[in-house]
Structure 1
């Protein structure tokens, strides 16, 4: 997993070398938002599915 993250950072940093910090902050914010959304949405979705299925 760590190799994948490092490879992604290297892959992203080369084409966007003028402003890597801005892109990294935006990417981390989006990733954190998606993670938060999944963390809050998935349990209720699973709970609803469990209550629907007999």
Structure 2
């Protein structure tokens, strides 16, 4: 095995690896049963507060 073959193989394998990983991530993100989980996560960051915290004064 020479250096050119190793470079070619690693570039090719890396390309297919990243394409496959991207497809898996997209399938997971758009899977219908995960919608509730993602909606809850999106709303949890907002919390139930509608004004700044009173203990921390603005400087």
**TM bracket (short chain):** 0.5 to 0.7
Aligned-CA RMSD value? 2.1
Mark the structure with the bigger radius of gyration: 2
TM-score (norm 2): 0.49
Gaps of 5+ in 1: 1-17
**CA distance in structure 2 between the partners assigned to 1:43 and 1:51 by the alignment:** 13
Q: Name the structure with the higher helix share.
A: 1
Partner of 1:28: 11
User: Paired residues, what number?
Assistant: 37
Whose RCO is larger (CA < 8 A, sep 6+)? 1
Shift >6 Å, 4+ stretches: none
Gaps of 5+ in 2: 41-59
Partner of 1:39: 22
Partner of 1:19: 2
